[in-house]
Structure 1
Amino acid sequence: MARDIIFDPLLPLWAIGALAALVALLCLLAAWRGLPGWWLRMLAGAVLVVALLDPSLQTEDREPLSDILLIVVDESASQQLSDRPAQTAAALEGLLEEAEADGLDTRVARVGDGEGDEGTLAMTALSELLAEVPRDRVAGAVIVSDGQVHDAGLAPDLPAPLHLLRTGREADWDRRLIVSNAPAFAILGEEFEITLRIEDQGAVPAGLGDEAEVILAVDGGQPRSYRVPVGRDLPLPIALPHGGRNVIEFRTPEAAGELTDRNNAAVIQINGVRDRLRVLLVSGEPHPGQRTWRNLLKADAAVDLVHFTILRPPGKQDGVPVTELSLIAFPTRELFFEKIDEFDLIIFDRYQRRGILPGVYLDNVRNYVEQGGALLVAAGPDFATADSIFRSPLSEILPAVPTAIVLEEGFRPAVSDLGEKHPVTEALPDDYGADGEPWGRWFRQVQVEAAPESQVVMDGLEGEPLLILDRVKAGRVALLGSDQVWLWDRGYEGGGPQAELLRRLAHWLMQEPELEEEALTAAALGQEITVTRRTLGEAPGAVTVTAPDGTVSELVLEEELPGRFTARLTGAQQGLYRLEEGERTTVIGLGPAAPREFVETIATDAVLAGAMDATDGGRVAVEDGVPDLRPVRAGRTAAGRGWLGWTPRDAYLTADIRVLSLVPAWLFLLLAGALSTFAWLREGRR
């Protein structure tokens, strides 16, 4: 219960003030004139002014409300290290018992890892708690954490002390691997630098040495080891081994006694791109498809094209001087002997032996392919003649043998059963042709017999091999058994996907990873990993997945397209995932190079110091025991050795209000009249 004197003026305050001023003025005038009853008149006026203010006694029946203690429990990844989960549980249990003993209500919020890589958002959780309870009941707030809070700058304006109950131990130490200066893209064949750094944090034990081992592996392949000085940046030159995505893992072995090895590894993903695609196109007898090849290759700004067309054989006797046969001399030695290794792809388009290229140069082409080069032969009728390019050293690497028969009849190219699975020809667009047919017709094909080990991915007339692929040692070869792909480019009978087909074919020849026919790949979108297994054979087995923390699970693949099997999983952790299926392995990294929760793992008070000092709060280490809770007045120090303070808020709920006038109106009038009468009598007697 509470009682207060209140006023309920009968007139506006300005009118009562004016009346009081008038009374005072008249009384002062009476005093100046020497009237002995002036003070009685002043009292009578004061009584009337008070009567107009209507003083009353207000009585409230109050129900006291308990004070509230806000508790934020950090359950992020860094809080799962060592014995911190047990410390957190003990601290929370002790706080709840202390709060109950002091009659405090509690509100508890648990904070995990933020979405993506936001880290520990303890202040956001505290703000949400504060918004859910009456502000005048909040007696204090406690954060149970290792102190590594990533939104400390968003601390709410608390009306009571903020405390940190810190987990972790003074003897904790940790080693961290940092990778910086890593680009998103890099040019194949060119070295670039990334920066490595090893940092030791916390109570580092003596005798660890000034260097640490760093192990580097690309796409889960053969690891390489380096010695890196601790506490210093080390520039490391790297060259990407292949185009497309390269997953590079850096790892330093776990040292004895360190807090965790989760930050001993870092994963970066760099896309390898070719600076310029160098293509050598050698055309034989001019034909309508020659411009198709040239336009296709010149349309790509990233392609450096060297194109030579042989219009006239050297043995032709027409009286034209040799100096007038071409603008420049055909640099056969330079192209096929000195600089052949600089080309990414060599194309022979309807080329036949005419004495232009000696056998030794074609033998160089064969060696170029066997050492990792790419060769595409677009065959016309010339391939079936005695002067065929097959009748040269290239016969050892070509994937088919000509039968000397040229089939000249309309046919529609079709993808073979094997081609339905091969990445070069799978799911080619089929919305080109007219009259309900997928593609337009071609009218000429060279009959060939494909080698047993080759891959026939497209068929032509009566099922004859049309597009044959083969691997030759470290290189690759393709044979297109027709010179009429240009009909698709011209849109004859609706045309066909010649640009897409030739683009895939060129990239497969240059060994782009996304077009490997036997491959295990993974792609990440957010925390979801899509696993794809390509194969030309039977259905593969389950994929073994090793998570960053070492847990192993199996993933069953389902056929999405012929030869392509996929599955999806959601990665609960950030870091490197290893996937294995038979002899195929790959890796995929989720999240940044180093997850934020493991950048700093040593418990600290420094991050929250500003927010705690602003509210006179304190910090206590859980390893020293759960502190007592004590009530302290507002503005006083709210923490000490072994205790944390809370501010009593004296909040209440008003159940009933009663208002009673202190003096009845008639008594005010009687008192004012009596005082006025006494003043008159005193002055009249004078």
Structure 2
Amino acid sequence: MIGNIILDPLVPLVVLYGLAALSAVGLAFAIWRRLLGWALRALAAVVILGAIANPSLQQEDRAELSDIVLAVVDESASQRLSDRPDQSAQALANLQAEVARRPNTELRVLTLGDGVDDVGTELMAALSEALSQEPQARIAGMVLITDGRLHDLPAAPATLPAPLHVLLTGHKDDWDRRLVIRNAPAFAILGEPVTLTLRVEDQGAAPDAGFVDLTISIDGGPPMAFLVPVNEDVELPIDLPHGGMNVMQFATPAVDGELTDRNNEAVVQINGVRDRLRVLLVSGEPHAGERTWRNLLKSDSSVDLVHFTILRPPEKQDGVPVNELSLIAFPTRELFLEKVDEFDLIIFDRYKRRGILPSAYLENIGNYVQNGGAVLISAGPDYASADSIYRSPLGAVLPGRPTARVYEEGFTPEITDIGQRHPVTEGLEEFSPNQGEDGTPGWGRWFRQIEVEPTENATVVMSGIDDKPLLMLERVGEGRVALMASDQTWLWDRGFEGGGPQLELLRRLAHWMMKEPELEEETMWVEPNGLTMRIIRRTLDEETGDVTITHPDGTETILTLDEVTPGRFELLWESPEVGLYRLTDGDVETVIALGPAAPREFEQTIANGELIADLVASTNGGITVMSDGLPSLRDVRSGRVAFGLGWIGITPRDAYRITDVTVTPLLPAWLALLLAGLLVIGAWLREGQR
């Protein structure tokens, strides 16, 4: 119980001061008149003024409140390396024991995990949260159990009410190796080398390495090995193998003794774009569809088109002198021997053998396909004739053998069962403006089809009259070949009977022939959205195997995909953390990086208290390395240094809570009236004796 004297005047202080001044004037007058009772009158004035001031004794019953020590335990990813979890557990247990031995002291513990969306360790946010939950007047100290690798130092509290201490995990001989991609473009032009800047960086007490192995794989393919120096920037030129997204995985092998291999890998995703698409269009003779082909290819500004139409075949003899002809000679040797490899796609539109292209040239085009080129045949009646291009060395790579029969009747092209699953023709019905209620395409008819027999390895994706093959695709060596057994695709372009998806079909066909990844028949890719993966598997088979996902930490998850459309299987999966994931179903595989390949937690893994040292010093706290021993807990006065060899200090706050308040007047009204009356009467009697 604590007592205090308080005043509770019965009148405003101004009135009280005025009465005191008036009394002083009266007292001075009595002294000047030499009145014998002036002293008694002064005492009477003091009693009256004291009664008006109403002095009281205030007594408080106080209950002591315990001091609070805050402990924030960092359990982020970097704190799970090596024996840091054991160190943190020992530090917390020691702190709990020290606090338990102290009277009237409590420990509040807050644990901190990984930040969402790879923001790193939000240690200061956790400290601010812990402070907001407790009265500031009771906080005697704060302890952070961490490796010092925090990522939100600007969010530190503006003021700290007590000493802040750091119990630092880790060891002085810790070291780690890290792979860093310093420079990587988002886009690159196919055929031109792109330069990446990378660095293999050793941190901490690393052994002298000099050079280390580095492997690079593209789209999960076989790795390429290099030898690179440590702690030096390395510029690496790379040619992208294909258009679309190229996923490049860089890795350096794990070494015994390093803290983690989670940062030994990096993934770069570069979108390969073609500077110009070089197309050679050879028309055997003028016809209605020739202009459609030309307009289609010229409508794309990224296409460089070389178009030749054979207007004057060798057998044409009309007596016109050669020096009077304005036709340009067909540069066959230059195109088909010297520069054939420069073209991305060669289209033969109703072409037949007429002695213009020797067999050696056509054989060279076959080699061009075997080495990765692409050839598209738009067949007319010429393909079924004795002069068919199939009856040349090029026929060895074509997917269909003509039977010499030509159908001249109306029919509507249809997509085959396997065509429903092939990326070239999948979902083409959706591009029909006149699609029926049952999903049948409302396409216009064609009126000519060449009967062909597909080769063993050909894939028939469209059919025509009596389900006979209409569009055939085949992989030949490293290249690809397509055969359209009709020359009337131009009817769709003209809008005959509603037309059809000619533009979309030929666009997909050209991109498939140029090996765009999104049009591969057997492929798997991932569309990430935060930590959510949309896993997509495309196949020509009617079913696919389970997908095995290898997590960044090496654990595996097996998932079964659901068929959403013919040949397309999908599944949404929520991944547990950022990092590099590998997916495979036994036939195809892919890699995907959610966030960086190594999370922010693994960018710097060596325990270090430098980032937080200034904040700790501002509270007179200290940083204790736990590998040197666990500290004891001592009391220190506010403003004094709160750490030393083997100990850390807290400041007792002596906080209390008032349970009851009693107020007792020191001068009751009746007593004040009695005393004042006696003093006044005494003064009167004294002065009356005179």
- When normalised by structure 2's length, the TM-score is 0.90
Tell me which residue corresponds to 2:146: 145
Q: Give the corresponding residue for 1:169.
A: 171
* 1:32/1:131 CA distance change after superposition, 3 Å: same
Q: How does 1:616-655 map to 2 (within 5 A)?
A: 616-655=620-659
The structural deviation recorded for 1:470 is 0.7
SS of equivalent residue, structure 2 residue 308: strand
State how far apart, in whole Å, the 2-side matches of 1:561 and 1:20 are.
100
Q: Tell which deviates more after alignment, 616-625 or 501-510.
A: 616-625
Once the two structures are superposed, the pairs formed by residues 175-214 of structure 1 within 5 Å of their partners are 175-205=177-207, 208-214=208-214
Q: 1:434–1:141: structure 2 CA closer, same or farther, 3 Å change rule?
A: closer
Cross-structure match for 1:581: 585
User: CA 1:188 to 1:683, structure 2 compared with 1: closer, same or farther past 3 Å?
Assistant: farther
1:117 and 2:118 are equivalent in the alignment: yes
How many pairs were matched up? Answer: 683
Aligned identity (percent) is 60
TM-align CA RMSD? 3.1
**Partner of residue 441 from structure 2, selected from 408, 424, 438:** 438
Verify: 1:449 aligned to 2:450, yes or no. Answer: no
Deviation at 1:194, TM superposition (A): 1.6
> Displacement, 1:682?
9.0
Measured in 1, the distance between the counterparts of 2:435 and 2:228 equals 65
CA distance in 2, matches of 1:23, 1:334: 128
Q: Confirm whether residue 282 of structure 1 aligns to residue 286 of structure 2.
A: no
Give 3-state SS (helix, strand or coil) of 2:333's partner: helix
Closer, same or farther in 2 for the Cα pair 1:452/1:667, shift >3 Å? same
Q: Which residue of 1 aligns with 2:127?
A: 126
Post-superposition offset of 1:169: 1.3
* SS class of match (1:612): helix
Alpha carbons of 1:104 and 1:369: their partners in 2 closer, same or farther (altered >3 Å)?
same
CA distance in 2, matches of 1:371, 1:28: 126
Aligned amino acid, residue 264 of structure 1: N
1:411-444 deviations in whole A, cap 9, x for unaligned?
2211111112212112223343366541312222
Q: How far apart are 1:322 and its partner, in Å? A: 5.4
> Deviation at 1:136?
2.1
AA in 1 matched with 2:531: Q
What are structure 2's unaligned runs of at least 5 residues? Answer: none
More deviation, 573-582/189-198: 573-582
2:102 pairs with 1:99 = no
Q: Distance in 2 between matches of 1:461 and 1:293?
A: 24
CA distance in 1, matches of 2:429, 2:687: 121
| Correspondence for 2:508 among 504, 511, 514 | 504
1:3 CA drift (Å): 2.3
SS across alignment from 1:607: helix
Counting only pairs closer than 5 Å after superposition, residues 469-508 of structure 1 correspond to structure 2 as: 469-508=473-512
Native 8 Å contact 1:247 1:589 kept in 2: no
Deviation at 1:272, TM superposition (A): 1.8
Q: Tell me, in whole angstroms, the C-alpha distance in 2 between the residues paired with 1:31 and 1:239.
A: 115
Q: How far is 1:608 from its partner?
A: 1.4
| Structure 1 partner of 2:235 | 235
Q: Secondary structure at the match of 2:460?
A: strand
- Deviation track 1:196-230 (CA, whole Å, cap 9, x = no partner) reads 2222222234xx34222222222232222322222
3-state secondary structure, aligned to 2:470: strand
Q: Which amino acid aligns with 2:614?
A: G
| Mean CA deviation greater in 549-558 or 235-244 | 549-558
Q: State the Cα distance separating 1:480 from its structure 2 match.
A: 1.0
Mapping for residues 403-418 of structure 1, pairs under 5 Å:
403-418=403-418
How big is each residue's C-alpha offset from its partner over 1:241-279, in whole Å with a ceiling of 9 and x where there is no partner? 222222222222233322222222222222222222222
Change (3 A) 1:231 1:380: same
**Amino acid in structure 2 at the alignment position of 1:361:** Y
Render the CA deviation track for 1:366-398: whole Å, top value 9, x for unaligned.
221111001111122332233333333321211
Q: Name the structure 1 match of 2:137.
A: 136
Whichever residue aligns with residue 112 of structure 1, its letter is: G
Q: Distance in 1 between matches of 2:22 and 2:126?
A: 61
Q: CA deviation at 1:15?
A: 4.8
Could you say which residue in structure 2 is the equivalent of 1:4? Answer: 4
CA distance in 2, matches of 1:3, 1:323: 129
Change (3 A) 1:604 1:362: same
The amino acid that maps onto 1:229 is P
* 1:452 shift after superposition: 1.8
Aligned-pair distance for 1:48?
Answer: 5.4
Q: Which residue of 1 aligns with 2:384?
A: 384
CA 23–429 in structure 1, closer or farther in 2 if over 3 Å, else same: farther
Cα gap change, 1:475/1:3 in structure 2, threshold over 3 Å: closer, same or farther? same
- What residue identity is the alignment partner of 2:525? T
Q: Would the alpha carbon gap of residues 358 and 111 (structure 1) be closer, same or farther in structure 2, given more than 3 Å must change?
A: same
Give the Cα–Cα distance (whole angstroms) in 2 for the partners of residues 155 and 274 of structure 1. Answer: 49
Supply the distance in 2 between the matched residues of 1:429 and 1:6 (Cα, whole angstroms).
93
Question: For the structure 1 residues 672 and 297, does the alpha-carbon distance in structure 2 shift closer, same or farther, using more than 3 Å as the test?
Answer: farther
Matches within 5 A, 1:2-401: 2-16=2-16, 26=25, 50-102=50-102, 103-156=104-157, 157-205=159-207, 208-317=208-317, 329-401=329-401
Per-residue Cα deviation, 1:485-536 (whole angstroms, up to 9, x for no partner)? 2333333333322222212111110111222212343443322334333332
In the alignment, is the contact (CA less than 8 A) between 1:432 and 1:497 conserved in 2?
no
Distance 1:204 1:451, change over 3 A: closer
Task: Give the SS at the match of 2:294.
Answer: helix
Shift of 1:83: 0.9
1:600 paired to 2:615: no
Change (3 A) 1:347 1:32: farther
Distance 1:326-1:279 versus aligned 2 partners, 3 A rule: farther
Return closer, same or farther for 1:230/1:34 CA change in 2, 3 Å cut-off. Answer: farther
Give the secondary structure class of the aligned counterpart of 1:247: strand
Worse-superposed segment, 281-290 or 235-244: 281-290
Of 538, 541, 544 in structure 2, the residue corresponding to residue 537 of structure 1 is 541
How far, CA to CA, are the matches of 1:672 and 1:328 in structure 2?
Answer: 137
Report if the CA contact (8 A) 2:402-2:453 is conserved: yes
1:94, distance to aligned residue in structure 2 (A)? 1.8
Q: Tell me, what secondary structure is at the counterpart of 2:505?
A: helix
Residue deviations 1:96-145 (CA, integer Å, cap 9, x gap)? 22222223223222111111211111211221222222222222221111
Shift of 1:544: 3.2
Measure, in 1, the Cα distance between the counterparts of 2:370 and 2:533: 36
Q: How has the CA–CA distance of structure 1 residues 464 and 665 changed in structure 2, closer, same or farther, with 3 Å as cutoff? A: same
Deviates more, 1:144-153 or 1:191-200: 191-200
Amino acid at match of 1:260: T
Structure 1: distance between partners of 2:10 and 2:328 = 114
Change (3 A) 1:410 1:11: farther
- Measure the CA separation in 2 of the matches of 1:43 and 1:329: 138
**SS of alignment partner, residue 514 of structure 1:** helix
What is the alpha-carbon distance in structure 2 between the residues aligned to residue 197 and residue 456 of structure 1? 49
In the TM superposition, residue 679 of structure 1 has moved relative to its aligned partner by: 8.2
Deviates more, 1:259-268 or 1:317-326: 317-326
Conserved 8 A contact 1:376-1:478 = yes
Deviates more, 1:132-141 or 1:176-185: 132-141
Question: Quick check: 1:73–1:144 contact (8 Å CA) kept in 2?
Answer: yes
State the shift of 1:468 in Å. Answer: 0.2
- 407 and 161 in structure 1: CA distance in 2 versus 1, 3 angstrom threshold: same
Separation of aligned partners in 1, 2:543 and 2:128? 53
> Contact between 1:434 and 1:493, CA under 8 Å: does it hold in 2?
no
Contact (CA 8 Å) 2:263, 2:597: kept in 1 or not? no
Distance 1:630 1:318, change over 3 A: same
SS in 2 for 1:390: helix
- Structure 2 residue aligned with 1:560: 564
Moved more, 291-300 or 89-98: 291-300
